[in-house]
Amino acid sequence: MIELVPAIDLIEGKCVRLTQGDYATQKIYNEDPLEVAKQFEDNGIHRLHVVDLDGAREGHIVNYRTLERLATRTSLLIDFGGGLKAEGDLEIAFESGAQKVTGGSIAVKHPETFSAWITKFGSERIILGADAKEKKIAINGWKETTDQELIPFIESYYHKGITQVICTDIARDGMLQGPSIALYQEILDAVPNLTLIASGGVSSVADIERLQEAGIPAVIFGKAIYEGRIKLKDLLPFL
């Protein structure tokens, strides 16, 4: 059964969504992310993907107090990302209640630092964020596309112990046009034992069904919930 991982993106402690990572498209869905998280929990969801968009922009963790509220007032397993550049950021995230953290740009720009995190904190607590534009890795809030090819990038970290990867096809994120199933299958063909978490483009329960049929282990989704295209009760068959 595919694992469902709804997302809460944070700006100034509020639950927001962006389109294709563009801060100018910010839309506030709820002033209180805890209210949203409790709705997920009350409907049988077990895990939450939290992104500190302020942190991503500032280059260090910002919304850790909101993370702490979510972690202490729900039983959700939280993976947290956004702006984690130094070991101190990870320690704050873990102390604030995150069970896992995601590193993206840091894994590209400072691979020795990211590799050290895997060794120190354990691969079960470190998720690789692999955001892609036309199969090339994108960093810095997707403002910069690198020359690194997506699949070799993932393979290199798999050999260093990474077992969990969140892959976002930037072209699909926030567009509600369906996920990049062919891309995810290509990744799993190359790295069959990977816990691949699909992200971006989910617009309906049918999209989740298609991902499950394709053998994708987990899926992150947000906008489809917030825009009412997916009702929480519709997710019960997956829980």
Return the SS3 of 61: coil
| pLDDT, average across residues 48-77 | 96
pLDDT tops 70 at residue 174: no
Cα–chain center distance at 92: 18
Note the pLDDT of residue 21.
81
Reference 202, options 172, 226, 232, 231; nearest CA is 172
In the chain, how many domains are there?
Answer: 1
Burial of 152 (0-12, 13-18, 19+ CB in 10 A): exposed
Note the pLDDT of residue 19.
83
Per-position b or e across 54-87, b if 16+ CB within 10 A of its CB: bbbeeebbbbbebbbbbbeebebebbbbbbbbee
Q: What is the CATH number of the domain that holds 66?
A: 3.20.20.70
Helices (H) and strands (E) in the chain, counts: 10, 12
* Annotated catalytic residue, options 9, 52, 169, 207: 9
Show the domain range for 18.
3-238
The pTM of this model reads 0.94
Write the pLDDT tens digit of every residue in 177-222. 899 999 999 999 999 999 999 999 999 999 999 999 999 999 999 9
End-to-end Cα distance, the chain = 8
* Annotated catalytic residue, options 54, 89, 131, 169: 131
Residue 9 appears among annotated catalytic residues? yes
Note the pLDDT of residue 144.
75
Reference 184, options 231, 220, 230, 225; nearest CA is 220
Reference 5, options 103, 96, 81; nearest CA is 81
